[in-house]
A and B are shown apart, each in its own frame.
Chain A
Amino acid sequence: MPENNGKIGTEIAPVGAREISISEFFEKNRHLLGYDNGIKALLIIVKEGVDNALDATEETRILPDVYVKVEELEKEKYKIIIKDNGPGIKKNQIPKIFGTLLYGSKFHRLRQSRGQQGLGISCAVLYSQLTTGEPTEVVSSTGDGKTHRYKLKIDVKKNQPMILEDNVIEGKDWHGLQMTFICEGTYREHKQSVLEYIKQTAISNPYANIIFDAPTGRFEFKRGVDKLPKEPKEIKPHLYGVEVGILHRMLKDTKARSLGGFLTSEFSRIGKTVAKELLKKAEIVDDKGEPFMMISPRKLTDSQVVSLVRAVKETKLMRPPTDCLSPLGMELIEEGMKKELNPEFVTAVTRPPAVYRGWPFQIEVGIAYAGSIDEPKFMRFANRVPLLYQSGSCAITKSISKTDWKRYGIQSEKMPTDPMAIFVHMASVWVPFTSESKEAIASYSIIIKEIKLALQEAARKLSIYLSGIRKAQYQAERKSIFERYAHETAVAISELTGRNADEIEADINELVKKNIKIMELSEQAKERIEKRTKTSIDEVSGKQEENAEPEEGEGESEEEKGD
C-alpha cells in the first residue's frame, strides 16, 4: 500500500495519553454520551466504530473500505461488527484503547479528526457489557502477518481493561481492525437510524466504500472518487481559545522553563514581541518593570493567570494557521451528493477558513436539487460525521432557517420546502458541540455567519441554474413555435415565387437553429419540467405578450362590422 507512508500501526496512537477513571460515572450517566434508548445505542456504537475506521484509514492515506453488520441475535439483542482496512492497532495498545475510558491520543492534540475525546469506542465496550454482559471482540493486524484477537471487558471500578481471551493467528496477510459488540438495542430505519447515518457518511466520505449488512438486507455504498481530502496538519492551540482553567493546567504540565518560552512554544502565532506585550498588559513584570519573561511557568499566581487571560482578550493576535483544516472541497461534496442522491443539479461551496475563539474552522455547503430527491432534506456534518440528533439546537439548522431562500427563487417556510438536499459541513480542529454526545454545533455568531454566507453562495448558484432552466424552457417553446409554422410558410412562399418549398423550409429551420441557442437540459430536468409544465407554460406565454410588438389591438373595436 503506497499511500500508507509507513504509518501502519499508528491507529489511535497513544501520544501523550493519560488515564482518567470515569467508567463508573458513565455506568450511571450513559445518556450524557447519547445512550438514551435502544435505537440510539445501536447508532452510536456503529458511529464510533465507523468514525474510528475512517479516521485511521485517512490518517494513513488509505482509501477506506468499511464493512458494517448489524445482526439481531434475539429480541432487542444485537451483534454489531465493524471492519476496516486501516493500519490496525499494535498488540499492546489494543486493551488500553478498548478497555479504558478517555484513553486516546486525540484529546491532547489539535488536529482535525472525527473522534476527539477518546471516549467513544471504550464507551461502546462498556455499554455492551452493561447491557448483555458480553465482552467485545477485537481482531487487528498491522500487516506484519500476525493477527491479534482479543476478547475484553472493562473493570468499571478501576477503569482498566479485563482481558478474557488473547490469541495470535499467524500467516494471514492483511491489515485493519474488526470489532464485534454484543449489546442491547432496537433496529429501525427511520431518519435517525444506523442506515441514515451510513447513507450520510457515504455522502460526506465519497472516497469510502461502505457495505452495510442490516437485519433487513445489504446496502452498498460504492466509492465515488479515488481521492482523499488533503491531510490536515496538527497545530498548537491559539491563545484566544484558552481559558483560565486550561491555562493553569498547561502551565503546570509544560516542559518550558520560562513563561516566555512557554508562551512562544506551546501556542500558535506567539512570538517574543507579542509575549512581552501580553506580560506587560497583564502586569507580570520584574523589578525593573520589564515583562517577566524568565519567570518559571509554575510560579505564576492565580491572579496573574487571570490577568494574562484578560490581556489576551485585549490584544490583537495573528489568526491561527489554517493548514490544520481539511475541508472536503467542492468536488468531493458534489461527487458525494451525486452518487447517493442522484439529483438533477448539485453545487457546493467551500468557505475560506475562519476562527471562533481562537479555533480555526471552515464551513462547506452543498445543495442538491430535485432528481431523485422528492422532499427537503437537511444534512449536518462535523468533521465529515453526520449529526442526526438535536437538529433544533444546532447552529446549522438555525443558519438554514435564517437564510432568505425566497430571494433565490426557492420555496420556503423558514426552512426550504422545495425538493432539495442541503449539506452543511463544519471542519475544525475543535468543533464546539453543545454536549458530549456530539449531536449539535454550538451557535457562535461567527459560525452562524459563515454558514449563512456559504448557504447564500450555494443558493445563488442554484438560482442561476433554475433561471437558466426557465430560459431554456422559454427558448424551447419559442423554437417549437418557429418550427411549427415553417412548413406552411415555405409552401406559401414557394407558390408565390416558384422557388423550391423544401429548400425554403430547410432554410427556415436552419435560421431558427442559428437564432435559438438552447441550453442542453438533463433528462432529469426534462422530466421535472414535464411534470409541472402547466404552470411554466403559463409563465412563458405571459412573457410572450410582453415581448409582442404593439402591432395591433389598439384600434376601435366596433369598426368594420359591416363586412
Chain B
Amino acid sequence: MMMSVTENPNKRLKELADGVAEQIKKKKNPDVKLPIRTLSNTYFDEKSGLVRLGDKVSHRTYLNIAHTRKFMQTLMVASECKKIIDQNVTTSIRDLYYALKRTIPGTNENTVEDQSESDPIIEDLEAALDTLRERLHLQADRKGYIAGPLVVNDSGDKIDATKMGSSGWAIPSNVEPEMIKFEKCTADYVLVIEKDAVWQRLNQDKFWRDHNCLILTGKGQPARGCRRIINRLHNEMKLPVYVLTDADAWGYYIYSVIKQGSINLSFLSDRLGTPEAKFIGLTTQDVDKYDIPKNVTIKLNKGDIRRANEMMKYVWFKPKEWQHELRHMLKVNHKLELEALSSKGIKFITEKYLPRKIEEKDFLP
C-alpha cells in the first residue's frame, strides 16, 4: 500500500508554523512532532517485505536545551522550502544549507555549521509532513547510471538509454513521474550492479543488448533517485530486479537497502524499496560453484566478521538461504570482490557467470 504523499507541502509547512506560533502566543512550550527515525522505531513488515517506520513520535521542543538549536533549524528549513516552492525553483540540498547558514548575532555560532546538520532536518520534515524532498523542491547530487532499452522523457527531453555511449544516462535526483516519464521499455529485467567499474565492463560488452536488460549502478550505496527508479521500473514496467554486489557484508547490506528500504528513510520504503528484488551474486558459495581460484579471495577482517554476525540477527536476513550464506562466509573466512571474476577471463562475468545464474535462477531471496 502506498503511503499518501502530500502533493504541495506548502499548506502543511504553514500549518506546522501556525501551530508553533499559536503555542508561543499562549506561552506554551512549542513543539514539533516528528516521527522517530531510528532502529528503535522501525520494524520489518513481513507482509510487504519492507522496513517500515513505527508510530513513535518525538517532540522537538523549544525549551529543551538539547532541542532548541534543532528546533530553530527545523523552522528555518521549513521557511526556506516555502520560499523556493513559492518561487517554483528547485535547489540542491547544498544550496539550502548555504541559504540557511549565517552567524547568530552576538555569538560566534552559525545557524548551521555544516551540511550534515541541515540534511537530517530535511528528512525530519519529509517524515513529519508526509511529503518528499522532491516536493519540497530539493534535490541531491546525481549518482548512478543506467543503460539499456529504455526511453524516458526527462522534462520534455526524450532520452534513449541505448544511445548514451560509454557513460550511460545519469539518473537525476528527482525521478518522480512528473519529472521522468517512461516512454518505452522493452527490457526483460534490471540488473543493479554495486560497482561502477563492473557496470562499465558490462556496458562496454553491450551486455544489455545481448541479454535485453537494463544495467544500472548506484556506485556503492545507491542514492534515493537510483532506488526510486528501480522501484518504478519494477512497479510500472513490471521488470524483475537482480542485484549484483561484492560477496561481503557491505555488498549484502546494499542489496537489503534496495530490497527492503533503509532505517533512516523507512517512511519512504514504499517508494524506495523493491521487495521482489533478487540477489544474483556474488556469494562466497560461488567460489566452489564457479571454480573461482582461491587466491583471489580476501580474508575477513575483524569488522567483516562483526558485521556478518550482526546481519545474521536482522529480521530481513532471516531467510535460511541468507543464514546459510552468512554462516558459510564466516566458515570459509573469506570475501570476494566482483572484479575477482576477471581472474577467469575478462568476459567471464558477461558470458558465463551472469547467463548461468539467470538461467539456473541461482538467486538468494
Binding site for B on A (CB under 8 A): 477-478, 481-482, 484-485, 487-489, 491-493, 495-497, 499, 504, 507-508, 510-512, 514-515, 544-545, 547-556, 558-563
Contacts and interface: CB of A to CB of B under 8 A. Distances in A.
Contacts of A549: 58-59, 64, 66-67
A544 B221 CA distance: 35
A495 B18 contact: no
A219 to B, nearest CB: 47
Interface stretch (B21-29, B202-210, B284-292): B21-29
B79 to A, nearest CB: 4
B50 interface: no
26 contacts: A477-B65, A482-B65, A484-B107, A489-B76, A492-B76, A492-B79, A493-B21, A493-B75, A495-B79, A496-B16, A496-B78, A508-B62, A511-B63, A547-B64, A548-B64, A549-B59, A550-B38, A551-B66, A552-B36, A555-B39, A555-B264, A559-B257, A562-B218, A562-B221, A562-B222, A562-B224
B109 A484 contact: yes
B345 interface: no
Given A548-B64, A556-B264, A492 B69 contact: no
Contacts of A489: 62, 71-72, 75-76
B13 interface: yes
A559 B65 CA distance: 27
Interface string B159-187: 00000000000000000000000000000
A556 B79 contact: no
A193 to B, nearest CB: 51
A376 to B, nearest CB: 35
Contacts of B17: 492-493, 496-497
A559 B60 contact: no
A511 B27 contact: yes
Interface string B216-252: 0011111110100000000000000000000000000
B18 A497 contact: yes
Contacts of A515: 29, 63
Contacts of B39: 554-556
A485 B71 contact: yes
Given A485-B69, A510-B27, A559-B263, A554 B40 contact: yes
B264 A559 contact: yes
Given A484-B109, A496-B16, A511-B29, 11 more contacts: A477-B65, A493-B79, A496-B75, A511-B28, A515-B29, A552-B36, A558-B253, A559-B221, A562-B220, A562-B223, A563-B141
A548 B75 CA distance: 20
Given A555-B39, A562-B218, A514 B67 contact: no
B156 interface: no
Nearest to A512: B63
B119 interface: yes
Interface residues of B, number: 64
Interface string B38-65: 1110000000000000000011101111
A471 to B, nearest CB: 14
Contacts of B21: 493, 497, 499, 504
Nearest to B93: A563
A514 B62 CA distance: 13
Nearest to B253: A558
A126 to B, nearest CB: 72
Contact of B24 (A492, A507, A545, A563): A507
Interface of B: 13-14, 16-18, 20-21, 24-25, 27-29, 34, 36-40, 58-60, 62-72, 75-76, 78-79, 82-83, 93, 104-107, 109, 111, 119-120, 140-141, 143, 218-224, 226, 253, 257, 262-265
Contacts of B71: 485, 489
A209 B70 CA distance: 61
Contact of B67 (A495, A551, A560, A563): A551
A519 B265 CA distance: 45
A464 B141 CA distance: 57
B106 to A, nearest CB: 8
B313 to A, nearest CB: 13
Given A488-B76, A489-B72, A497-B17, A507 B25 contact: yes
Contact of B38 (A487, A496, A545, A553): A553
Which of A484, A493, A507, A549 gathers the greatest number of chain B CB atoms within 10 Å? A493
Nearest to A485: B72
B223 A563 contact: yes
Contact of B104 (A488, A497, A559): A488
A551 B60 contact: yes
A478 B65 CA distance: 6
A495 B82 contact: yes
Contacts of B262: 556, 559-560
Contacts of B143: 562
Given A496-B82, A514-B27, A561-B220, A552 B18 contact: no
A560 B123 CA distance: 11
Given A492-B76, A512-B63, A563 B224 contact: yes
A563 B64 contact: no
B27 A552 contact: no
Given A485-B72, A507-B25, A544 B65 contact: yes
B218 A511 contact: no
A563 to B, nearest CB: 5
Contacts of A492: 17, 72, 75-76, 78-79
B14 A496 contact: yes
Nearest to B16: A496
A487 to B, nearest CB: 7
Which of A497, A547, A556, A563 gathers the greatest number of chain B CB atoms within 10 Å? A563
Which of A495, A504, A508 gathers the greatest number of chain B CB atoms within 10 Å? A495
Given A485-B104, A488-B72, A562 B226 contact: yes
Which of A485, A495, A508 gathers the greatest number of chain B CB atoms within 10 Å? A485
B218 to A, nearest CB: 7
Contacts of B107: 484
Contacts of B265: 559-560
Contacts of A550: 38, 40, 58
Which of B34, B79, B109, B140 gathers the greatest number of chain A CB atoms within 10 Å? B79
A338 to B, nearest CB: 36
Contacts of A559: 221, 257, 262-265
Contacts of A504: 21, 24
Contacts of A544: 65-66
Contacts of B34: 551
A211 B39 CA distance: 76
A481 B64 CA distance: 9
A543 to B, nearest CB: 9
A70 B155 CA distance: 103
Given A510-B27, A547-B64, A562-B221, A552 B226 contact: no
Q: Which 7 A-B pairs have the closest CB atoms?
A: A548-B66, A496-B17, A492-B75, A562-B223, A492-B79, A485-B72, A554-B38
Given A556-B263, A563-B140, A497 B40 contact: no
Contacts of B223: 562-563
Contacts of A497: 14, 17-18, 21
A278 B141 CA distance: 104
A529 B352 CA distance: 75
Contacts of A508: 24, 62
A33 to B, nearest CB: 65
Contacts of A514: 27
A555 B257 CA distance: 14
Contacts of B106: 484
A198 B152 CA distance: 99
Nearest to B250: A558
Contact of B264 (A487, A491, A560): A560
Contacts of B83: 495
Contacts of B111: 488
Contacts of B38: 550, 552-555
A489 B119 CA distance: 18
Contacts of B69: 481, 485
